[in-house]
Amino acid sequence: MPPTTWFLLIHRLPVRPLYFRARVRRLLAEAGAVPLKKAVYALPKSPAGLERLTLIADDVRSGGGEAFVCEARFAEPDAALLMKTVRKERAADYTRLLRDARALRQTALAAGAKPTEGLKSSLGRIRARLERVRSVDPSPDDREARAAIETIERLLRPPREGRAAKGLPGLVGRTWVTRRGLHVDRLACAWVVRRFIDPSATFRFADPNDLHAGPDEVTFDTPQGRISHREGRCSVETLLLEAGIADDGVRRIAEIVHDLDLKDGRFQHPETAGIERLIAGIVQGHDDDRTRLDRALALFDDLHGSYRTKKRVVLRGDRLPTPPRRGPRGAA
């Protein structure tokens, strides 16, 4: 049910200077206020909404205008119409925010392991915009923007000692080549390359009939490729072995990929079926390989992060195991 109580800002602005009118309109838009009439703006009742409108009213008065903040109640149909307008405005904000976050993510990927202060400042501004928009109307529309921002944050985070592979002759500074139509093993290999070998790595997705690699290219998950299936291992397992990556979370992800790719049931981790469905969703929902890769990078990042945390997340319907009963004191 939409809120029926709202805060209103009623104002009269001076004719001059013209920039002052533009400034007030910008502040009201950033606050998430919607116009009822030319000089009357509304926000759903909340402490944050009252604070925003009060600050704007103070700004109007300091600029030589008049402003009043009051509380008003609307009948449910009118309140629903107002809330629909608010959410329409916020949907446009989320669209712009996601566009800018994606552009910054591409810049961060291009910067690789050398993020600039400008990138960090831009990330701070985008994060602040997201929080400002969410404070007006938390929405599922923010999920993709948040995922893009989290990816940027990971790219700008200083690498922990021992996290990235070092001194890997022939693997850093190369273009990585594989068959187009990315699926689980190739997606996992690309994630390992980007996160643990070469953050600046580029990829080429080739026709299966044209997989010849140039002198500065590394083939993976291809027949006779440098990184491929060997001795019962899938390609990502071979990559970990060749790169010398010893990380328990990455190893577990490689075991999940092994079971999904080779289907021999060797490891049988309980989360394997869920990851299979998520990968299927990426593959079925996106024909473009670079889009698949972007989605898989976020998926494997989050999965890897879940293995690093010591805190157990209890989902709805997930019962914690009953602790074992203690025997008599002194019992073995």
- Taken in order 322, 327, 329, 330, is the CA torsion positive or negative? negative
Whether residue 130 sits in one domain with residue 84: yes
Band the pLDDT of 12: cuts 50, 70, 90.
very high
Band the pLDDT of 181: cuts 50, 70, 90.
very high
Calculated CA dihedral for residues 288, 294, 300, 302, nearest 10 degrees: -140
Q: What is the pTM of this model?
A: 0.48
Contacts of residue 13, Cβ cutoff 8 Å, sequence gap at least 6: 20, 21, 24, 39, 60, 63, 65
Whether residue 111 sits in one domain with residue 49: no
Whether residue 286 sits in one domain with residue 200: yes
Whether residue 261 sits in one domain with residue 214: yes
Q: Give the up-direction half-sphere exposure of residue 77: CA atoms within 13 A in the CB hemisphere.
A: 0
Average pLDDT value for residue range 148-152:
63
Calculated CA dihedral for residues 282, 283, 288, 294, nearest 10 degrees: 30
Q: What percent of the chain has pLDDT over 90?
A: 30
The amino acid present at 187, given as its one-letter code, is L
Average pLDDT value for residue range 38-63:
87
- Residue 329 falls inside a structural domain: no
pLDDT of residue 313: 44
Whether residue 290 sits in one domain with residue 238: yes
Q: Phi and psi at residue 206, in whole multiples of 5°?
A: -105, 160
- Residue 209 falls inside a structural domain: yes
Q: Phi and psi at residue 328, in whole multiples of 5°?
A: -60, 150
Q: CATH no. for residue 45?
A: 3.30.70.240
- Residue 164 falls inside a structural domain: no
Whether residue 94 sits in one domain with residue 44: no
The amino acid present at 143, given as its one-letter code, is R
- Residue 54 falls inside a structural domain: yes
Whether residue 96 sits in one domain with residue 51: no
Whether residue 144 sits in one domain with residue 100: yes
Average pLDDT, the chain: 79
Identify which has the larger pLDDT, 163 or 74.
74
Q: Read off the pLDDT of residues 245-301 as tens digits, 9 standing for 90 and up.
A: 888 899 999 999 999 999 999 999 999 999 999 999 999 988 889 889 989 999 999
- Domain hosting 255: range is 175-308
- Residue 319 falls inside a structural domain: no
Q: Read off the pLDDT of residues 51-92 as tens digits, 9 standing for 90 and up.
A: 889 999 999 998 899 999 999 888 888 878 877 777 777 777
Whether residue 192 sits in one domain with residue 86: no
pLDDT of residue 261: 94
